[in-house]
Amino acid sequence: MVQLIGPSVAQGSCYWATDPLDNPDYEKFIKDFHTITGSCPQTTTAQPQKDITRTRQLLRLSESLGTRC
């Protein structure tokens, strides 16, 4: 996708048909996305309080990968 779309692919959003936090490997996906694009994707979730520990870890991961708020 980087070759096809170019640098704008780094503006990806990770929410389509299911909540990202339904995926037990979502954090691995974020790391792969960052490795490929150099950017941390926007994550939108409807269930941030389902597992507050995981949500906090996800926020720390996103911050460590350079997410801009």
The total number of structural domains in the chain stands at 1
Kindly state whether residue 69 falls inside one of the protein's structural domains: no
Percent above pLDDT 70 for the chain: 84
What DSSP string runs through the chain? -HHHH-GGGGG-B--SSS-GGGSTTHHHHHHHHHHHHSSPPB---S-TTTTHHHHHHHHHHHHHTT---
Q: In the structure, what pLDDT confidence band is assigned to residue 25 with cuts at 50, 70 and 90?
A: very high
In this predicted structure, what is the pLDDT of residue 69? 46
Domain membership of residue 20 as a residue range: 2-64
**Is residue 45 left, alpha or beta, with left meaning phi > 0 and alpha meaning psi from -120 to 50?**
beta
* pLDDT at position 17 over 70: yes
In this predicted structure, what is the pLDDT of residue 16? 67
Q: What is the mean pLDDT of residues 16-40?
A: 88
In this predicted structure, what is the pLDDT of residue 12? 67
* pLDDT at position 26 over 80: yes
